Structure 1
């Protein structure tokens, strides 16, 4: 078993993704043996405040079950939004 669960985030990450994001992350939170949830932002070119809220809430839920969350491959406007929101203060952005 891998200790990392990879979740690919869609090109447009907003409230419309809420249901799928929750399904994917709930599965990752329940996965035994996986201690890290890696959110792959390589395709993201838009995210809004709802998406930021989903990521922060995931961090809270993951912490409750001793798992970590990280964001990888963020670029362009998505990376700028993450930086302005200071997400890296609670979730590593790699």
Structure 2
């Protein structure tokens, strides 16, 4: 089994995604084999402050579980928002 798990983020990443995002990430956080959680932003065209909060909170929970978070495939407006919010100082963006 791989020590990497990819969580695909929907095109519109906002508070309406909260429940599903938490369900998906909780499963990954409980998996002791997984050491790195990649958030795949390839489909994201919109994200709001609630989405940023979910990512930051996931980072905190992952750190407590001794796991690393990374963001992959972010581009366009989504990447700009992540950079303006300084998420790159907390989480590596690849």
* Aligned counterpart, 1:76: 76
The runs of 5 or more residues in structure 1 that have no matched partner are none
The runs of 5 or more residues in structure 2 that have no matched partner are none
TM-score, scaled relative to structure 1? 0.99
* Aligned counterpart, 1:63: 63
Cα distance in 2 for residues equivalent to 1:87 and 1:57: 12
Q: Classify the secondary structure of the residue corresponding to 1:32.
A: coil
* Aligned counterpart, 2:89: 89
**Alpha-carbon distance, 1:31 to partner:** 0.9
**Alpha-carbon distance, 1:37 to partner:** 0.4
* Aligned counterpart, 1:20: 20
Cα distance in 2 for residues equivalent to 1:74 and 1:55: 13
Runs of 4+ in 1 over 2 A off after TM superposition: none
RMSD of aligned residue pairs (Cα, Å): 0.4
Cα distance in 2 for residues equivalent to 1:9 and 1:65: 21
Q: Classify the secondary structure of the residue corresponding to 2:92.
A: coil
Which structure 2 residues correspond to residues 8-47 of structure 1 after superposition, within 5 A? 8-47=8-47
TM-score, scaled relative to structure 2? 0.99
